[in-house]
Copies of this chain bind each other. A is one copy, B any other.
Protein backbone atom coordinates (compact mmCIF):
# COMPACT_ATOMS: atom_id res chain seq x y z
CA UNK A 1 0.00 0.00 0.00
CA UNK A 2 2.78 2.45 -0.83
CA UNK A 3 2.35 5.64 -2.82
CA UNK A 4 0.88 5.09 -6.28
CA UNK A 5 3.82 5.08 -8.69
CA UNK A 6 3.67 7.90 -11.19
CA UNK A 7 3.32 7.07 -14.86
CA UNK A 8 5.22 8.53 -17.76
CA UNK A 9 3.16 9.62 -20.73
CA UNK A 10 4.33 6.51 -22.59
CA UNK A 11 3.18 4.25 -19.79
CA UNK A 12 -0.18 5.99 -19.64
CA UNK A 13 -0.39 5.63 -23.38
CA UNK A 14 0.09 1.88 -23.19
CA UNK A 15 -2.24 1.54 -20.21
CA UNK A 16 -5.14 3.22 -22.02
CA UNK A 17 -4.48 2.54 -25.67
CA UNK A 18 -4.24 6.26 -26.39
CA UNK A 19 -1.36 7.67 -28.39
CA UNK A 20 1.08 9.95 -26.64
CA UNK A 21 0.16 12.77 -28.98
CA UNK A 22 -3.53 12.40 -28.25
CA UNK A 23 -2.89 12.50 -24.49
CA UNK A 24 -1.06 15.79 -24.88
CA UNK A 25 -3.93 16.98 -27.06
CA UNK A 26 -6.48 16.15 -24.34
CA UNK A 27 -4.42 18.18 -21.89
CA UNK A 28 -4.25 21.08 -24.31
CA UNK A 29 -8.00 21.24 -24.86
CA UNK A 30 -8.71 20.87 -21.16
CA UNK A 31 -10.33 17.47 -20.75
CA UNK A 32 -7.32 15.97 -18.98
CA UNK A 33 -5.78 18.04 -16.15
CA UNK A 34 -2.15 19.10 -16.36
CA UNK A 35 0.00 16.57 -14.52
CA UNK A 36 3.00 17.14 -12.26
CA UNK A 37 6.43 17.32 -13.89
CA UNK A 38 9.67 15.51 -13.09
CA UNK A 39 12.90 17.50 -12.67
CA UNK A 40 13.61 16.74 -16.33
CA UNK A 41 10.24 18.26 -17.32
CA UNK A 42 8.58 14.94 -18.10
CA UNK A 43 4.89 14.61 -17.33
CA UNK A 44 4.17 12.42 -14.28
CA UNK A 45 0.64 11.05 -14.08
CA UNK A 46 -1.16 9.61 -11.07
CA UNK A 47 -4.07 7.20 -10.68
CA UNK A 48 -6.61 10.01 -11.02
CA UNK A 49 -5.27 10.74 -14.49
CA UNK A 50 -5.44 7.10 -15.45
CA UNK A 51 -9.08 6.91 -14.33
CA UNK A 52 -9.99 10.14 -16.05
CA UNK A 53 -8.33 9.17 -19.32
CA UNK A 54 -10.02 5.77 -19.24
CA UNK A 55 -13.34 7.54 -18.82
CA UNK A 56 -12.58 9.82 -21.74
CA UNK A 57 -11.56 6.94 -23.99
CA UNK A 58 -14.62 4.91 -23.17
CA UNK A 59 -16.90 7.86 -23.82
CA UNK A 60 -15.12 8.61 -27.10
CA UNK A 61 -15.49 4.96 -28.12
CA UNK A 62 -19.20 5.36 -27.50
CA UNK A 63 -19.22 8.27 -29.89
CA UNK A 64 -19.52 11.15 -27.45
CA UNK A 65 -17.90 14.35 -28.71
CA UNK A 66 -15.19 15.98 -26.63
CA UNK A 67 -17.72 18.65 -25.68
CA UNK A 68 -20.06 15.99 -24.39
CA UNK A 69 -17.15 14.36 -22.58
CA UNK A 70 -16.43 17.69 -20.94
CA UNK A 71 -20.08 17.87 -19.84
CA UNK A 72 -20.01 14.35 -18.47
CA UNK A 73 -16.81 15.03 -16.55
CA UNK A 74 -18.14 18.28 -15.13
CA UNK A 75 -21.34 16.55 -14.07
CA UNK A 76 -19.42 13.72 -12.47
CA UNK A 77 -17.51 16.23 -10.37
CA UNK A 78 -20.79 17.21 -8.62
CA UNK A 79 -21.02 13.95 -6.76
CA UNK A 80 -24.12 14.72 -4.71
CA UNK A 81 -26.64 15.40 -7.39
CA UNK A 82 -28.69 12.73 -9.06
CA UNK A 83 -27.40 11.41 -12.33
CA UNK A 84 -30.40 12.68 -14.24
CA UNK A 85 -28.24 15.16 -16.14
CA UNK A 86 -25.84 12.42 -17.16
CA UNK A 87 -28.74 10.28 -18.27
CA UNK A 88 -29.98 13.23 -20.30
CA UNK A 89 -26.66 13.60 -22.15
CA UNK A 90 -26.58 9.89 -22.88
CA UNK A 91 -30.15 9.83 -24.15
CA UNK A 92 -29.54 12.76 -26.42
CA UNK A 93 -26.49 11.06 -27.84
CA UNK A 94 -28.45 7.86 -28.32
CA UNK A 95 -31.09 9.77 -30.27
CA UNK A 96 -28.40 11.20 -32.49
CA UNK A 97 -26.89 7.78 -33.14
CA UNK A 98 -30.31 6.39 -34.00
CA UNK A 99 -30.86 9.22 -36.45
CA UNK A 100 -27.50 8.59 -38.07
CA UNK A 101 -28.30 4.91 -38.51
CA UNK A 102 -31.57 5.78 -40.23
CA UNK A 103 -29.79 8.23 -42.53
CA UNK A 104 -27.14 5.69 -43.46
CA UNK A 105 -29.76 3.04 -44.12
CA UNK A 106 -31.63 5.31 -46.52
CA UNK A 107 -28.35 6.06 -48.21
CA UNK A 108 -27.46 2.39 -48.44
CA UNK A 109 -30.75 1.60 -50.11
CA UNK A 110 -30.11 4.27 -52.71
CA UNK A 111 -26.64 2.95 -53.38
CA UNK A 112 -27.94 -0.58 -53.70
CA UNK A 113 -30.57 0.51 -56.19
CA UNK A 114 -27.90 2.30 -58.17
CA UNK A 115 -25.48 -0.60 -58.21
CA UNK A 116 -28.18 -3.13 -58.92
CA UNK A 117 -29.01 -1.35 -62.15
CA UNK A 118 -25.47 -1.43 -63.53
CA UNK A 119 -25.14 -3.88 -66.41
CA UNK A 120 -21.51 -3.16 -67.24
CA UNK A 121 -22.29 -1.96 -70.72
CA UNK A 122 -20.66 1.01 -72.34
CA UNK A 123 -20.54 4.20 -70.40
CA UNK A 124 -23.44 5.89 -72.13
CA UNK A 125 -25.73 3.12 -70.90
CA UNK A 126 -24.42 3.15 -67.36
CA UNK A 127 -27.24 3.56 -64.90
CA UNK A 128 -24.93 4.78 -62.19
CA UNK A 129 -23.70 7.68 -64.25
CA UNK A 130 -27.22 8.48 -65.38
CA UNK A 131 -28.63 8.30 -61.89
CA UNK A 132 -25.93 10.51 -60.48
CA UNK A 133 -26.12 13.21 -63.08
CA UNK A 134 -29.58 14.72 -63.43
CA UNK A 135 -30.63 15.88 -60.00
CA UNK A 136 -34.05 17.18 -61.01
CA UNK A 137 -35.19 13.86 -62.49
CA UNK A 138 -35.16 12.25 -59.07
CA UNK A 139 -37.73 14.31 -57.23
**Residues of chain A whose beta carbon lies under 8 Å from any beta carbon of chain B:** 16, 51, 54-55, 57-59, 62-63, 72, 76, 78-84, 86-87, 90-91, 93-94, 97-98, 100-101, 104-105, 107-108, 110-112, 114-115, 118, 120-126, 128-129, 132-136, 138
Q: Quick check: B111 and A62 within 8 Å, CB to CB?
A: yes
- Chain B residues closer than 8 Å to A16, beta-carbon distance: 135
- Chain B residues closer than 8 Å to A91, beta-carbon distance: 115
Q: Quick check: B104 and A97 within 8 Å, CB to CB?
A: yes
- Chain B residues closer than 8 Å to A83, beta-carbon distance: 118, 120-123, 125-126, 128-129
- Chain B residues closer than 8 Å to A100, beta-carbon distance: 104
Could you name 11 residue pairs across A and B whose Cβ atoms are closer than 8 Å? A51-B134, A62-B110, A62-B114, A80-B123, A83-B120, A87-B120, A90-B115, A90-B118, A93-B111, A94-B112, A100-B104
Q: Quick check: A101 and B108 within 8 Å, CB to CB?
A: yes
* Closest B residue by C-beta to A100: B104
Q: Which of B62, B82, B97, B114 contacts A120 (CB 8 A)?
A: B82
Q: Quick check: A126 and B86 within 8 Å, CB to CB?
A: yes
Report how far A138 CA is from B63 CA in the complex, Å. 17
Q: Quick check: B87 and A134 within 8 Å, CB to CB?
A: no
Report how far A125 CA is from B80 CA in the complex, Å. 11
